[in-house]
Structure 1
């Protein structure tokens, strides 16, 4: 009956409704913001208000049910970022259907892998996505109907606006009235709202089932969003960091400006044009901004939130030199399996930003640091595996027993970290990505952080190179700055002068054009290891 002194407890005073249908919850929440502009496409300058979004969502929900969509049907959405996606997401959740966002960037085998996991009954897509994946979509017998966002579509195919916007060609003859609208009843605690896909940094993506309650728990969290700060967003919406953040932010009434495709110059121009106050970024974009000269007025930016990997103090200082009115860079930690967040430094309640920290444990969440061998809960400054339990912990993986990933009810993240005497969390590296050098555990992220301080390095990824005597030795893949004259010995000495002996680049340096990353900015180290394996195979 007493709290464990070695656990970290987040606040637990958020309010969860008795009627747990995510669509019902979001429709009522978004409606409160009325005719305020909810979202703007920075490229086309199209915009949509909260009222327009809710109306289109209710219309689409009723139209889809009339088409035969029922609770539990799986509906895939495959499209570049566009305004129509959000009324679609909102409406589909009201039907009790399960939404699965699909990356437009998947190649054939990846696409077939994820679609064979979720087996969608319907697909809603853009013309562009369909042109790329038409053959694969048609090969799936589970798909009954494909609906298009554009009017230009194959003969007989359904059109989004005919479902969501009342017109002479639409299914509905008049708009659905909110006082007459009723979302399909679901058991929000156990029924799935979304099938997401894990990042796949260590293998093929897994199907992650997110319940209605999981997402309501995210939206209901207090002191995370300040509705006075408009946000510029570039994270893809098929990724949990993009999708869940958007749902949460709009529920709070924030105005979101988005770029369908990231291009640095246009991104900076958009900050100036829309006087953006808050940026949601990953480290790779922050580094690109820090190492780019520009003359755009970005003085409106007050807050930057960074996820996917930890920024060190020197990079944060470089960011502050670019954004003169920046209060601070607030860092967080999460994963698809957590729906979104495990910890966060919050601007809203003025938490201080500790250098290198990923903040305090977030709402309705408990964290323990477990000894990797004994699983004993550890105390302050003791390093072990980060584990958590939460109202936002996924329902489970499709086709996999969740108990395999639990430790006394806590989800094992595979991340290594610790907390300090003020309960701030710090992350060191992935458990599976630690380089094992003569019994020492070497975090690649520490070497990467150091190398990024070198003026000639634009980007970097570090992996372990197999070694007969040492087990593994650190090797760095480096993207040089344009015009920089770098050599292997220079970078090896740079590291050797600043880090302890096990962390020296005994595996050498490979110069490459880019570091492979997933949409959230995490380094795909398995791809780097594949390069090394291909080199080995070529030599033999």
Structure 2
């Protein structure tokens, strides 16, 4: 009955609609904006209005039900960012089914693993995705029907455009399938897989509604143009774009990041808001061509998925003169999106990821005793609230939640006296050197300050005497020359003794990352074992 003084409680109230169908909430939100442009393809300049999304979503929902889709059945969508994606997602939710977006870049074995987790009975595919994964999809026994985007099919597939044209529903005649929002599944996403194979994360309609409700403005706002590079099958891209849609923002999207196209798009469409990941901000802070483009329209930057150092933020703000702030956030697929977030209406603290989002309770616990810690004491961050997932598919909750119902994040961090959170690193990624716990992210942040280094990733390599030694994989700037010894000396000057690069330096062409920008350290370890890196 009493609050724990060592827990951090959100102080915000939110309004959630009586109808707990997430699809209906999004549908009603976007219908406010009618013929305003919702999405623009930066590659083709193709435009899609909010009215078109709403109409196609209702048509998809009715057609799916007519074709036998039932409440609670799972529908997959495997596609790069393209115009059919959002009517598919919203239409599936309106039909009472569960949507599971799937990465187009999965290997054959990864896709088999994912399909075995969520067991979709129906799947929507882009031509690109279907060409890459056709044999796997066709041999997956629980998939009943395949819907294809585009104009061509090969055999028994159903074209999306025919599905949409089969009906033409008016809003006043349309009623979404009734769901029990607090318990019924809405979305299955997949954990990042930075330390192993992804797990299926189940989110309810209520999880999504809580997120949408606290980022939804009470009144339609002046149009803002947003540029996002995150793939929509990832939590950052999916929820970020749903939030933008619910607020009537025009979203310009890029299927893959290309520096020149990215900057041209900002200039062409006078982008005001950017949703980015740390590797892109690092690139922008060191870009040699940015000065050739007009980026004065940008007033807001949002960054998530991995820690971002203060020096990069300062340099980016210098290069984008009208940016009011680089808002960081902290969250995960398991928390719908954000557990903490900066905003322009509260004081900014360098290095912080902001304060707790509405409905959230956070605690930091000692790694050994599991006792709650006070301010400025690093430990594992644990979270409870309406944004936290229902659970992992096929996995007991007791493996990931403590006795009080807090989700154990596996992230190391702390909060200060004002409730601002600071992220140190992933618990599983800490390097153990002679009893010291060394955060790879801290070494990476220092490496990225070096003018000759474009990108970096750090892992621990086994050592009989010390446990593990920090080793850095480094991507150099074009034309830059720097040696292993110079980099080791640079880190030795900047960081304490346990954080020195005693494991050495490997020069590589790129650092492997997942779509959200997190470094895939397991691949770095495989590269080291296979010798696929050079001195």
TM-score range, shorter chain: over 0.9
Query: CA offset at residue 65 of structure 1?
Result: 0.7
Task: State the match for 2:326 in structure 1.
Answer: 329
Task: State the match for 1:134 in structure 2.
Answer: 134
Task: State the match for 1:346 in structure 2.
Answer: 343
Task: State the match for 1:451 in structure 2.
Answer: 447
Query: What SS does the corresponding residue of 1:460 show, helix, strand or coil?
Result: strand
Residues of 2 paired with 1:309 and 1:98: CA distance?
28
Q: How does 1:398-437 map to 2 (within 5 A)?
A: 398-407=393-402, 408-437=404-433
Task: State the match for 1:370 in structure 2.
Answer: 365
8 Å contact kept, 1:219–1:248: yes
Q: Which runs of 5+ in 1 are unaligned?
A: 165-169
C-alpha distance 398-342 of structure 1, shift in aligned 2 (>3 A): same
Query: CA offset at residue 354 of structure 1?
Result: 1.2
C-alpha distance 224-363 of structure 1, shift in aligned 2 (>3 A): farther
Query: What SS does the corresponding residue of 1:342 show, helix, strand or coil?
Result: strand
Spell out structure 1 runs of 4+ moving beyond 6 A: 223-226
Q: State the Cα deviation string for residues 59-118 of structure 1 (Å, max 9, x = none).
A: 111111111111111111011111111111111100111111111101111011101111
Structure 1 residue corresponding to 2:299, chosen from 302, 305, 309: 302
8 Å contact kept, 1:310–1:357: no
C-alpha distance 497-215 of structure 1, shift in aligned 2 (>3 A): same
1:186 correspondence with 2:179: yes
Q: State the Cα deviation string for residues 345-401 of structure 1 (Å, max 9, x = none).
A: 013xx2232111111101111110111111111111011001110101111101001
Query: What SS does the corresponding residue of 1:427 show, helix, strand or coil?
Result: strand
C-alpha distance 227-309 of structure 1, shift in aligned 2 (>3 A): farther
Structure 2 residue corresponding to 1:513, chosen from 509, 516, 525: 509
TM normalised by structure 1 equals: 0.95
Query: CA offset at residue 312 of structure 1?
Result: 1.6
Query: CA offset at residue 193 of structure 1?
Result: 0.8
Query: CA offset at residue 213 of structure 1?
Result: 0.5
Task: State the match for 2:74 in structure 1.
Answer: 74
C-alpha distance 393-434 of structure 1, shift in aligned 2 (>3 A): same
Query: CA offset at residue 485 of structure 1?
Result: 1.2
Query: What SS does the corresponding residue of 1:204 show, helix, strand or coil?
Result: coil
Q: State the Cα deviation string for residues 400-420 of structure 1 (Å, max 9, x = none).
A: 011211122110100000011
C-alpha distance 247-227 of structure 1, shift in aligned 2 (>3 A): farther
Residues of 2 paired with 1:67 and 1:353: CA distance?
52
Residues of 2 paired with 1:288 and 1:19: CA distance?
44
Please say which of residues 338-347 and 151-160 is displaced more in the overlay.
Answer: 151-160
Residues of 1 paired with 2:216 and 2:488: CA distance?
45
Residues of 2 paired with 1:409 and 1:229: CA distance?
39
Query: What SS does the corresponding residue of 2:14 show, helix, strand or coil?
Result: coil
Structure 1 residue corresponding to 2:499, chosen from 498, 503, 517: 503
8 Å contact kept, 1:223–1:346: no
Residues of 1 paired with 2:436 and 2:142: CA distance?
50
Q: How does 1:235-246 map to 2 (within 5 A)?
A: 235-246=230-241
Query: What SS does the corresponding residue of 1:406 show, helix, strand or coil?
Result: coil
Task: State the match for 2:153 in structure 1.
Answer: 153
C-alpha distance 344-195 of structure 1, shift in aligned 2 (>3 A): same
8 Å contact kept, 2:216–2:247: no
C-alpha distance 223-159 of structure 1, shift in aligned 2 (>3 A): closer
Query: What SS does the corresponding residue of 1:357 show, helix, strand or coil?
Result: coil
Query: What SS does the corresponding residue of 2:380 show, helix, strand or coil?
Result: strand
Residues of 1 paired with 2:395 and 2:64: CA distance?
31
Query: CA offset at residue 481 of structure 1?
Result: 1.1
Query: CA offset at residue 224 of structure 1?
Result: 8.2
Query: CA offset at residue 155 of structure 1?
Result: 3.7
Residues of 2 paired with 1:308 and 1:299: CA distance?
25
1:466 correspondence with 2:458: no
Q: State the Cα deviation string for residues 105-136 of structure 1 (Å, max 9, x = none).
A: 01111011101111110111111111111111
Query: CA offset at residue 12 of structure 1?
Result: 3.6
Structure 2 residue corresponding to 1:232, chosen from 227, 231, 238: 227
Q: How does 1:48-197 map to 2 (within 5 A)?
A: 48-164=48-164, 170-172=165-167, 175-197=168-190
TM normalised by structure 2 equals: 0.96
CA RMSD of aligned residues (A): 1.4
Residues of 1 paired with 2:310 and 2:103: CA distance?
33
Task: State the match for 2:386 in structure 1.
Answer: 391
8 Å contact kept, 2:71–2:97: yes
Task: State the match for 1:356 in structure 2.
Answer: 351
Query: CA offset at residue 40 of structure 1?
Result: 1.1
Query: CA offset at residue 535 of structure 1?
Result: 4.5
C-alpha distance 121-333 of structure 1, shift in aligned 2 (>3 A): same
Q: State the Cα deviation string for residues 229-282 of structure 1 (Å, max 9, x = none).
A: 321011001101101111112112211111122211001000000000010000
Q: Which runs of 5+ in 2 are unaligned?
A: none
Query: CA offset at residue 223 of structure 1?
Result: 7.2
Residues of 2 paired with 1:136 and 1:223: CA distance?
39
Query: CA offset at residue 171 of structure 1?
Result: 2.0
Query: CA offset at residue 156 of structure 1?
Result: 4.1
Structure 2 residue corresponding to 1:212, chosen from 181, 189, 205: 205
